[in-house]
Structure 1
């Protein structure tokens, strides 16, 4: 009779272990959902992280589409688990979810990411190899643009210069329109809004290939920054009160300021953060040098590589970058998979 309790205990222990194994298997079977980011740097980073998670840690992954805001809302609900490039703190949806403890920004993935107003370097310095003389040798700041509207002549309104803004509907389009007013340039430059990000790229690329002057809003990391020699124009230092006037399209008296400093992180859901400490530890170490990333993005664009292929090329070419994020045994698995 004494053997019966021991037998029951053994059966219960076995059942418990089986239940634990089953739960672990289910956890492994469920894919980790990444946001399907459409801009180049986010798409490449997504595929780099997916490769490491799949090959280094044996977790299945997939991607789910959506706009930036809808992906942030999905992350808060744990319908998504990872957004590989989160410009943390800019979206009201993100701020609300972060304050509620539903999402977390891990790491500082791309240091020195930035946005602002740019011109090709040859506009200021010239290019002796092509016989180009400087067109605006004293152009260093947005205030200096008051002296050079004729350099950036608008073909449709020749009495003004042309500023290439973001497409309508982008947050940056509102900010740039307000900046034109704040810097006293709205009467000197046409506020030209491209129909899409691709149209903006096409305008800039066309001008630069023809060695023409062009003034435009842009950001980094991007293929464009890895392809051309560009100069960012100086703006007043960032000021939070001034920034509030720039993000409000209805503010009649905007004040000039650099844009909110960029901090790129990996956005994760609370459930992911709680259940995957080993991946959280990796994500907190991710550091993509911006010059290396810009060059990889330029190559991806020029070769028209799918982001998954470009991610493998990046991992092969830059082992010194990603091995620093991983334990040695995991790094060896990833390397063997390449």
Structure 2
């Protein structure tokens, strides 16, 4: 009987050890997070191609809201996150990093912008389209209050309209505060669209008609890549002023690649590759434009991008891994 109990004990320990190996040891399938925008899908596809063809891993993608996928990342259900916009989820990002739930391994890109944009022809005109400058002295966000007639609200003649971020977005509250600190509400209305697509449709309609438009947007996106827009200036970022009134340009917003805390041991070779992953807003927008012009999926854009920029992605991995990936692409 004692021998039987001892044998069962050994078997139980073996089973537990095996379970522990599955969750904390090496893995066969790498799960990436998709929070719903095209640029993260392109970067996921680039990384997946290298993980699968170069390193021999299977990959999967878990889609959901930013909040849901970041929580899944903290819990270990998502191994890799190719685009965490650090300032947009600052509190959660800092909390998760300090708790050691996930690790930042590289900066994907840090040259992105956000704020209030106008079509460049509003300031400079466009001779080819027969458009005269509408507000040639417009430079800053605060200047906007001088031009209600240029950006006239069609539903409130005599006052201008600024397109805010969609209702429900955290950044919409920031634009609200900027309205107050710059005195924009003296002459301008603060209009919140119901969705990002509604804001884009409003911009495209105005742009194609050569009308004035001003509103919130960010890069890298297809919108900022496809249309000639000018980001209006604000005072240089100052953390104290920003925290008090939001009366400066937006703070730096590094867009980083992160991995779950267990990942360095689960896939050390891929972990090393991801430490080298670095692009830019301009490089990202090239893929987004390709998607638009060719009605392509992110996976197709990623393949095109890798063929166009072989010198970049091959620098992230060893020569033998690069050769495997190139063979697969060809």
TM-score (norm 1): 0.87
Deviations 1:274-323 (A, max 9, x none): 33232222212212132232122122133332111111111112212211
1:286 matched residue in structure 2: 277
- Using the alignment, how far apart are the partners of 1:39 and 1:153 within structure 2? 31
| Distance change (3 Å), C-alpha of 1:227 and 1:256 | same
Deviation at 1:329, TM superposition (A): 0.8
Indicate if the aligned counterparts of 2:26 and 2:267 stay in contact, CA closer than 8 A: no
Q: Secondary structure at the match of 1:194?
A: coil
Which of 12, 29, 54 is the equivalent residue of 2:52?
54
Give unpaired runs (5+ residues) of structure 1. Answer: 1-18, 246-253
Note if 1:229 corresponds to 2:228.
yes
Deviations 1:187-217 (A, max 9, x none): 3211111111111111111111111111011
Q: How does 1:1-338 map to 2 (within 5 A)?
A: 30-91=28-89, 92-245=91-244, 254-338=245-329
Deviation at 1:165, TM superposition (A): 0.9
Q: Secondary structure at the match of 2:161?
A: strand
Q: Secondary structure at the match of 1:226?
A: helix
Deviations 1:42-63 (A, max 9, x none): 1111111111111111110101
Between 159-168 and 274-283, the greater mean CA deviation after superposition:
274-283
| Distance change (3 Å), C-alpha of 1:45 and 1:255 | closer
Deviation at 1:244, TM superposition (A): 2.5
1:15 matched residue in structure 2: none
1:7 matched residue in structure 2: none
Give unpaired runs (5+ residues) of structure 2. Answer: 1-16
Indicate if the aligned counterparts of 1:37 and 1:46 stay in contact, CA closer than 8 A: no
Q: Secondary structure at the match of 1:274?
A: helix
| Distance change (3 Å), C-alpha of 1:240 and 1:48 | same
RMSD (CA atoms): 2.1
Q: Secondary structure at the match of 1:84?
A: strand
| Paired residues, number | 310
Deviation at 1:90, TM superposition (A): 3.7
Q: 4+ residue stretches of structure 1 with deviation over 4 A?
A: 26-29
